[in-house]
Amino acid sequence: MKKHTLPKCMIYLFFVGFLTTEVVAQVQVKGTVVDGEGLPLPSANVLILNETDSALVKGAISDELGNYQFLDINHGSYIISISMVGFKTHEELLLIEELNNEQFSIKKITLEESIEQLGEVVKTARRPLYEQEIDRLVVNVQRSVTSSGSSALEVLEKSPGVQVNRQSSDISLNGKSGVLVMINDKTVRLPLESIITMLNGMNAANIEKIELITTPPARYEAEGDAGIINIEMKEYSDLGYTGTLGTNVGYNSAETLGGNFAFSLRKKKLAFLLNYSINYNNSEEIMFGERFLTQDDFTQTIRSENFRDPITTVQNISVGFEYTLTEKTNADLLLTGFQRNWDTSDISETLDHSSPSSMLIMEQRINEKNLWRNGIVNFGVDHSFSEDRSLNFDLDYLYYKNSNPSTYRNEVITGNLSPTDPDAINVEKETPINIWVARLDYKHTISPKLTLESGMKSTFSDFSNDVRVTDNINGNIVVNNAFTNKANLDEYIGAVYFSTNITPTDGLQINSGIRYEYINRNLNSVSEGNVVDQHSGRLFPSLFIQKSINKDNNVNFSYSRRTTRPTFLDLAPFVFFVDPKTFLSGNSNLKSAISDGFSLGYSRKQFLVTLSYTHSNDEIAQWQPAINTQTNEQTYSTQNLDYLDTYSLTTSFPLEPLAWWSLRISATGRYQFYRSAHLQDNFSGEAAGFNSNVVNTIDLPKDFSFEVSGFYQSKSVWGIARSRPQGALNLGLQKKIGNGQGTLRLSATDILNTNILQANNDIESSNINSFWRYNFDARSVALSFTWNFGSNEFEKIEVKSGSQEEQNRVGVN
């Protein structure tokens, strides 16, 4: 491997963060919390927050006498927030002044009970389904009843502004593709199609919340020009142990089964966590496609219908350790494994009317296996020089392997095959991927009004993609050189960033940052030689400004530059046959997309509205068709658009028609302009689109709750294709058991069977006229049960990987 070095400017920017120091006097803060009768409240959550932006400064838990204390708190203005289940959250201004001694006492604080009797309905304080934070929208997954038995992907599909295209394996945010997916604030280094598969096998019971970050700060990877979707898994804390045990059973066209287990143990210096989930899905999928090619006053027609009955088993496991080396230094180790086995035996029926006198009707028997395995080892060290300065180091190794053997056997029902058409096609594919990631981050809180962050990251990646395709023609095995290929990729990405968080005046917060990334990518193919040899660097600035007009009203503005790099599998040569004349293929000539995004937002309590504009050069679009007019073969592959401009307006707001009925509505409208780049006669287009989510939650007596939710998505732009409208109506019933430790949920999704992907292409200048429909069996019913055990009041165990950005680019199909 070639030796790579970071440019001097990257190293300089990183060490700027170390050069600014300030000595600030610190005091010990003490206080007591009691109930309405003056009795002490143990295990209350006590937080000290910045007055201007409510950012967490320190947290503590009251002891058996209701006492709490904080060490090393700087002088200044704060907010103290005290909360406990069954009581109203208490918040008040806290002014810590300079004293002759080093102690500051807070007057005794009394919490009021929050439970009120409403006939037979008991309504308690709870987190809202959606919460707007300074740079992201948070979806509290456990607040949704219809997440029962659902996968992480199904929950994501219901989130505001999120669109999931299972056919093209794409996720878009506010009408814009190029989303970076993270888990626990770490990038998933898998191809997007692989991530979609993984999320579809991940039980929602293990998810705490989903964060939709449309303008990420500089410390995040520049990857993902539409923003970041961060999935926070459940984590447990407290001296002692705690955990969750769950199971689910369901039915769509056949049985679905699943189970999940989470366990966490913490002692004084050692913490341990274990998460495991398994999901089995015996489903039915129907793919239909038709296309037309007009030549010499005759329209050729190819129509195919693929009946798929795949069995998919997905397993996820993570084991983590955290050890306190010293009072200021923690070390952690995280081991993660993922396996997805997809196996199907299908029948595809094809009608090929290629000339006025020729009609071919063929049946294709398909046997496909797709096995993904991966393992990740992460080692990290966190060190606090003081209360206001910290350093984090992560080292990751990631290994992925994809095996995809497939066989396609053709049987003629009507007509004849040409002498060169194969009776059978055999595909063998192996793709091992290796990734090393090293990351260093430094944070310095100079004062409550100024925080500096800086860091650097290096990523080394390589893969080998070996595809061998053979045809059986009249009993002779012939290598198909059009699809047989072997490719090797070596890639290095170096990055350095510097960012500031400034609060110049009360109610005004400014986050700004700059990130520099350098990439060295080399892709060699046996058939094409040196396909890609890229050496380039680019700056990625970001700016976020928020102004609080008063306690309830805020306005914000943001700008950020992002990039979307081709996934490893998009770059690698491969072939997947939909029917004898239609197949998917890789594209080694893909370029990275660069986008500039602006947004202007306003929030009033839980009412949110955001206006956004994004301009993207070389936008990456999946499932783009091209026609070979000589053979009437159609190839779908990932292609670059010349550009894509997206204007969007997103709003979200709650309604409470009655005390026991809450309603949450979110909607996104968008208008897009685009131009193709891969056709012989490229063209420009424009389209409007709209999608919305509605969630109704009804509190019932005896710890029951009921939810009715749904979404609607109008026609959308998928590169040069147009999708057709789709939507879903979902129902859910929940019952709390055993003082809230157990949860029993019954859910029904897509009960009207309207969540079906459909799209068409009608481009006269390129003679492309096609339509396809994909019914992926979204309608289902599921029953799930989860049980929480142990204690749940200790500090969170945060054993996380530093390579989540890399995991996004692998791609599980």
Give CA separation, 300 vs 351, 581, 721, in Å. 11, 12, 21
Residue reference for tokens 């838990």: 61
pLDDT tens digits along 583-597: 878 787 888 899 999
CB 165 within 8 A of CB 212: no
Specify the pLDDT at position 178.
Answer: 66
Alpha carbons 591 and 571: distance in angstroms, whole number: 10
DSSP state of 801: -
Specify the pLDDT at position 496.
Answer: 96
Pairing of strands 757-763, 593-604: unpaired
Q: How many CB atoms lie within 10 A of CB 88?
A: 14
Label residue 12 by pLDDT band (50, 70, 90). Answer: very low
Indicate if the pLDDT at residue 18 is higher than 50: no
Residues in a beta bridge with 428 = 468
Indicate if the pLDDT at residue 431 is higher than 50: yes
Indicate if the pLDDT at residue 123 is higher than 50: no
pLDDT tens digits along 36-53: 877 888 878 888 887 765
Alpha carbons 420 and 279: distance in angstroms, whole number: 43
Mean pLDDT of 271-298: 87
Of 353, 200, 239, nearest to 291 (Cα)?
A: 353
Q: What is the length of the chain?
A: 813
Alpha carbons 261 and 240: distance in angstroms, whole number: 17
User: Which tokens sit at 280?
Assistant: 């089995």
Q: Any idea which of 396-400, 504-508, 574-578, 703-707 has the lowest mean pLDDT?
A: 574-578
DSSP 3-state of 10? helix
pLDDT tens digits along 565-585: 887 777 776 667 777 778 878
Of 470, 468, 473, nearest to 421 (Cα)?
A: 473
DSSP state of 237: B
Specify the pLDDT at position 662.
Answer: 83
Label residue 206 by pLDDT band (50, 70, 90). Answer: low
DSSP 3-state of 18? coil
DSSP 3-state of 570? helix
Question: Could you give the percent of the chain with pLDDT greater than 70?
Answer: 82
Mean pLDDT of 237-265: 81
pLDDT tens digits along 692-744: 988 888 989 888 889 898 889 998 888 888 889 999 999 989 888 877 678 88
pLDDT tens digits along 756-794: 989 998 888 888 888 989 888 788 898 988 887 775 443
Alpha carbons 646 and 178: distance in angstroms, whole number: 13
The number of CA neighbours under 13 Å toward the Cβ of 522 is 7
Q: Any idea which of 71-85, 214-228, 777-791 has the lowest mean pLDDT?
A: 214-228
CA dihedral 222, 130, 668, 618 (to 10 degrees): 10
Q: How far apart are the first and last CA of the chain?
A: 29
Specify the pLDDT at position 559.
Answer: 92
Delineate the domains of the chain, giving CATH numbers in brackets. 8-114 (2.60.40.10), 240-802 (2.40.170.20)
Helix (H) or strand (E) holding 197, with range, is: helix 192-200
* Residue 219: φ, ψ to 5°: -70, -20
Q: How many CB atoms lie within 10 A of CB 94?
A: 19
Of 551, 445, 330, nearest to 58 (Cα)?
A: 445
Specify the pLDDT at position 614.
Answer: 93
Label residue 176 by pLDDT band (50, 70, 90). Answer: low
CB 691 within 8 A of CB 649: no
SS3 content of the chain, % helix, strand, coil (to 5): 5, 65, 30
User: Which tokens sit at 674?
Assistant: 């685009």
Alpha carbons 60 and 71: distance in angstroms, whole number: 10
CB 452 within 8 A of CB 513: no
Give CA separation, 602 vs 298, 544, 593, in Å. 57, 13, 29
The pTM assigned to this predicted structure is 0.70
Q: Any idea which of 17-31, 404-418, 419-433 has the lowest mean pLDDT?
A: 17-31
Q: Any idea which of 299-308, 655-664, 668-677, 745-754 has the lowest mean pLDDT?
A: 655-664
Specify the pLDDT at position 754.
Answer: 93
Mean pLDDT of the chain: 81
Q: Which residues have C-beta within 8 Å of that of residue 383, sequence separation ≥ 6?
A: 328, 329, 330, 390, 391, 392
Is residue 172 classed exposed, middle or buried when 0-12, 13-18 and 19+ CB atoms within 10 A define those classes?
buried
Label residue 546 by pLDDT band (50, 70, 90). Answer: confident
Of 732, 567, 606, 734, nearest to 155 (Cα)?
A: 732
DSSP state of 203: B
